[in-house]
Amino acid sequence: MELLNSIVEELMTACAELPSVTERCEYRLNLYASIFNELLEMIKFWPTDRKDPFLLSADFNEDMEKEDEEKDGVKATLLSYAEEIENKLERKHVDFTEQVKSVVANFGGVVRVEGNDIVMPANKNIDNALFYKLKTVLQLVAQRNIAYNRGLPSGKIDRTRLYRAPTSGAIFNFKKTHYQLHNDIVLLVDCTGSMAEPNKWAKTEVIYQTLFMALLAYNRNARIFAYNERNDTCRITEIYKNGQFYSVMPHGRTASGEAIIATALNLKQSSRKPFIIHVTDGAANWGCGVSDAIRYCKARNIRLLTIGLECDPMNKTALAEEHGEMIQFVNDVDQLPTVFKHLLSSTRYH
């Protein structure tokens, strides 16, 4: 402390008298440098960051470089075994295959479908402008709830509390309006091979994350699932938990029928109609097909709404034939609020 205090006077007086910022900075630098070696001798034995090059000897730095090379080698080895370890892990995933077969006509075409919990954290990519537009659209179909906070010292006069005027004066209230979607809502995202193009997947992530956050603002129980294909299995993965988005790698064929039915099986029976909002870029090319899934959703009174993202003409035709008026197509992200509004208006929400 004595060494550090020895430069305080110069910092407060001589440094402050210099006219320019550059001169003052250079003066402080030279002042600190003049005592650094002496200070280092006093503190070099303190516990510190072992990677700080200023507090380590050259020999120790060389040892660290060798250690880092060894770590890189270990990391490469672990990555090479990652897939093998994954294949050998004893999993407890829910297998929906038999349940799906029991509810479809084309049970011979049903592919294996199961739940999955192998995910990787995803960055939060929310388009704020799109988010507020989608919230406005959802507010039109949400139920309005009004709550009053009464007995306040300021606000709007509450006629039922006027008797308090001569005593406490707490004769005011505050009216609060909030909106809520009571229906169960699940967002189902196509993460198959056709989504694997980097630009397309990045745009899709922004769209589904923004749409889901808008849904979550009015329904805290909303959920989001993604589906892809790995090892001849359609995998269903929940990609939002405890405030964190997760992601899976776009890969494989598109078993939309199995994915929709497996998602519907996850829904609880309710007096209000549940909604599945399916985001895809094309028709199913694997499995039992979507027609059985649509019939199953109608039988269970589930509203299946589909958003087609950047679909080519062939897929647009196929999807339109399958879903009828319950599908809308989006070629640009700015179209989503209007398209989503039309999609919601095509069905009775409540």
pLDDT tens-place values along the chain, 350 residues long: 788 888 888 888 888 888 888 888 888 888 888 888 888 777 765 544 444 445 445 554 555 566 666 656 655 665 555 555 555 555 557 899 999 999 998 888 999 999 998 788 899 999 999 999 999 999 988 888 888 788 888 888 888 887 788 788 888 888 888 888 888 899 999 999 989 887 888 999 999 999 999 999 999 999 999 999 988 999 999 999 999 999 888 999 999 999 999 999 988 776 678 999 999 999 998 999 899 999 999 999 999 999 999 898 999 999 998 888 889 999 988 999 999 988 887 765 44
Q: Where are the alpha helices (DSSP H) in 235-312?
A: 256-265, 291-299
Residues 107 and 239 in one domain: yes
Residues 312 and 187 in one domain: yes
Separation between Cα atoms, residue 213 and residue 122, nearest integer Å: 14
Residues 174 and 304 in one domain: no
> Of 19, 15, 48, 49, nearest to 29 (Cα)?
15
Residue 53 located in a structural domain:
no
Residues 303 and 246 in one domain: yes
Residue 70 located in a structural domain:
no
Separation between Cα atoms, residue 192 and residue 139, nearest integer Å: 32
> How many domains, the chain?
3
Residue 57 located in a structural domain:
no
The answer for residues whose C-beta is within 8 angstroms of residue 262's C-beta and 6 or more apart is: 96, 99, 100, 113, 115, 234, 236
Residue 87 located in a structural domain:
no
Residue 52 located in a structural domain:
no
Residues 174 and 308 in one domain: no
Residues 245 and 319 in one domain: yes
Separation between Cα atoms, residue 280 and residue 188, nearest integer Å: 9
- Are the CB atoms for 221 and 252 separated by under 8 Å? no
Separation between Cα atoms, residue 72 and residue 230, nearest integer Å: 28
Structure pTM? 0.69
Separation between Cα atoms, residue 223 and residue 241, nearest integer Å: 9
Domain span at residue 7?
A: 2-46
> Of 238, 292, 266, nearest to 122 (Cα)?
238
Residues 228 and 157 in one domain: no
Residues 115 and 261 in one domain: yes
Question: Which amino acid is present at 177?
Answer: T
